[in-house]
Amino acid sequence: MSISPFLAITYPPTVSGIRGNEVADTTAKMALSEVNITHFPLPLSTAKHLISRVCHSTSDSTLATGLCVTSLGQYRHNSSLHPWVRQQSRALDVVLTRLRLGHTTLNAHLHRLRLAPDPDYPWCRSVPETIEHFLLQCPHFYSQRVLLRAQLIALGVSTLDLPTLLAAAGVHPTKQHAVLRLTCVFVKKMGQLSRL
Residue 78 has a pLDDT of: 56
DSSP state of 15: P
State pTM to two decimals.
0.59
How many CB atoms lie under 10 A from the CB of residue 157? 21
Residue 124's alpha-carbon distances to 43, 137, 186, in angstroms, are: 63, 10, 20
Strands (E) in the chain, as ranges, are none
Residue 183's alpha-carbon distances to 19, 81, 157, 179, 180, in angstroms, are: 80, 19, 13, 6, 5
Over its length of 196 residues, how does the chain's per-residue pLDDT go in tens digits? Answer: 444 444 444 545 545 566 667 777 777 777 666 666 666 677 888 888 888 888 878 877 776 676 665 555 555 655 566 666 565 778 888 888 888 878 888 878 777 778 878 777 677 778 888 888 889 998 889 999 999 999 999 999 998 988 888 877 788 888 888 988 899 889 989 888 887 8
Contact 140, 125 (CB under 8 A): no
Residue 26 has a pLDDT of: 76
**Can you tell me whether residue 181 is helix, strand or coil?**
helix
